[in-house]
């Protein structure tokens, strides 16, 4: 697939888009650092009293439902409504979709308010969101990405969203268009916050890129290539997190272009 990864990373770093994240307690610090290392500017505001104002100045909104509570859900609803009104791109990370009735109900409410520009999750989450009869293991996937192609396509057509499915091979689906990203290492599945950071990085790219299909591909490739770079330095989970953040900062546009494996 002929995509200019090099120029898009240059654009990301030169524009440093503000990415508004309503995300979860578990990953908030790591996600913010990942955005900073990549070259974007994070803001992690979730209070209902200010999210509409924050969305107005942001380049994109990322909503991650990892640690739900009613006050946070109220902020998510207001933020998504305001983003839709302002035509700001929205990335939805349906963490743990299918795990509990409450989580499913919140997702249904959010999807009624606005259609996300990008929906990014693991195979089980995407299949649950599409109504496939599957139950997730907490926030972990019990299916592989290739199993979710039909569900991802259905979601994409229903909401007009690009659907990005993480796995050994990442799937990026936009209607009938499909890209397969083969970058990454298995250790990434043993580090909390990797998927959430992938959603945030997708938000950074879609903030500067008018083509959300390509933005989702850029994010998946950058995450995967940086994971490969980090794995060359360490194979232990603690030090891998630091090496991964370093890789996000160190990677050159040329290296990203050469190392990408997209079909």
Binding-site residue numbers are: 44, 120, 166, 193
Count of residues making up the chain: 263
Q: How far apart (Å, rounded) are the C-alpha atoms in residues 219 and 183? A: 11
Q: Which residues fall in the annotated binding site for ATP?
A: 120, 166
Q: Which residues fall in the annotated binding site for substrate?
A: 44, 193
Q: Which two tokens stand for residue 149?
A: 């192609």
Per 3-state DSSP, the chain is made up of helix, strand and coil in percentages (nearest 5) of 55, 15, 30
Looking at the chain, which runs of residues are DSSP E strands?
Answer: 18-22, 41-43, 60-64, 90-93, 118-122, 162-166, 170-174, 177-181
**CB-based contacts of 105: which residues, under 8 Å, 6+ apart?**
none
**What dihedral do alpha carbons 132, 136, 142, 148 form, nearest 10°?**
30
Q: Which two tokens stand for residue 123?
A: 């195979």
Across-strand partners of 138? Answer: none
Map tokens 């990085």 to a residue.
Answer: 201
Half-sphere exposure of 35 (CA within 13 A, CB side): 29
Count of other CB atoms within 10 angstroms of residue 29: 11
Q: Quick one: which of 5, 44, 1, 2 has its CA closest to 257? A: 5
């Amino acid at each position: 697939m002929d995509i200019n990864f090099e120029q898009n990373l240059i654009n990301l770093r030169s524009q440093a888009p503000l990415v508004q994240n309503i995300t979860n307690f578990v990953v908030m610090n790591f996600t913010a650092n990942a955005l900073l290392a990549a070259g974007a500017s994070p803001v992690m505001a979730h209070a209902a009293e200010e999210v509409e104002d924050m969305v107005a100045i942001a380049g994109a909104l990322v909503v991650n439902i990892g640690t739900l509570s009613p006050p946070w859900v109220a902020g998510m609803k207001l933020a998504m409504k305001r983003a839709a009104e302002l035509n700001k791109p929205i990335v939805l990370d349906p963490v743990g979709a299918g795990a509990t009735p409450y989580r499913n109900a919140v997702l249904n409410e959010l999807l009624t308010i606005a259609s996300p520009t990008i929906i990014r999750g693991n195979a089980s989450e995407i299949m649950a969101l599409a109504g496939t009869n599957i139950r997730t293991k907490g926030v972990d996937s019990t299916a592989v990405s290739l199993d979710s192609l039909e569900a991802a396509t259905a979601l994409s057509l229903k909401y007009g969203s690009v659907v990005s499915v993480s796995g050994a091979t990442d799937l990026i689906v936009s209607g009938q268009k499909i890209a397969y990203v083969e970058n990454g290492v298995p250790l990434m599945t043993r580090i909390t916050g990797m998927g959430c950071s992938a959603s945030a990085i997708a938000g950074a790219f879609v903030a500067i890129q008018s083509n959300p299909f390509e933005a989702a591909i850029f994010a998946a490739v950058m995450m995967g290539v940086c994971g490969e770079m980090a794995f060359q330095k360490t194979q232990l989970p603690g030090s891998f997190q630091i090496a991964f953040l370093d890789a996000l900062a160190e990677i050159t546009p040329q290296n990203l272009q050469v190392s990408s494996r997209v079909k």
